[in-house]
């Protein structure tokens, strides 16, 4: 349970390395938004990221749960 709560924090901590006080400037997050929406990365800003995160919150949470599962599998070394 605690792990599930920490996965979003871990993801954003890693994804915003170098831009933690301004996560909308993270090249990784901008790239993720660009591939998800088709909007060029240089046009992605704070307002767009907030609107996208709120509008697609279920998908964002699903993605974060999936990341947590992938991480657990990679740490445990289990393959099935």
- pLDDT (tens digit per residue) in 5-24: 787 788 888 888 888 888 88
Q: Tell me: the pLDDT tens digits for 31-78?
A: 989 998 999 999 999 999 899 889 999 998 898 888 888 888 888 776
**Residue 79 forms part of a structural domain:** no
Q: Report the Cα 40 to chain-centroid distance in Å.
A: 18
Residue 47 lies in a domain: yes
Q: Is 77 within the bounds of a domain?
A: no
**80 belongs to a structural domain:** no
CA distance 74 to 55: 30
Q: Domains in the chain: how many in total?
A: 1
Task: Specify if 78 maps to a domain.
Answer: no
Residue closest to 64 by CA, chosen among 20, 29, 19: 29
- Domain, as residue range, for 25: 2-72
Model's pTM, two decimal places?
0.69
61-73 per-position pLDDT tens digit: 898 888 888 888 8
Whether residue 80 has pLDDT greater than 60: no
């Amino acid at each position: 349970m605690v792990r599930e709560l920490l996965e979003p924090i871990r993801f954003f901590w890693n994804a915003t390395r170098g831009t933690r006080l301004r996560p909308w400037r993270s090249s990784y997050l901008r790239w993720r938004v660009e591939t998800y929406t088709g909007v060029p990365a240089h046009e992605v800003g704070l307002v767009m990221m907030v609107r996208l995160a709120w509008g697609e919150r279920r998908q964002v949470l699903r993605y974060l749960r999936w990341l947590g599962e992938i991480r657990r599998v990679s740490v445990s070394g289990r393959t099935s």
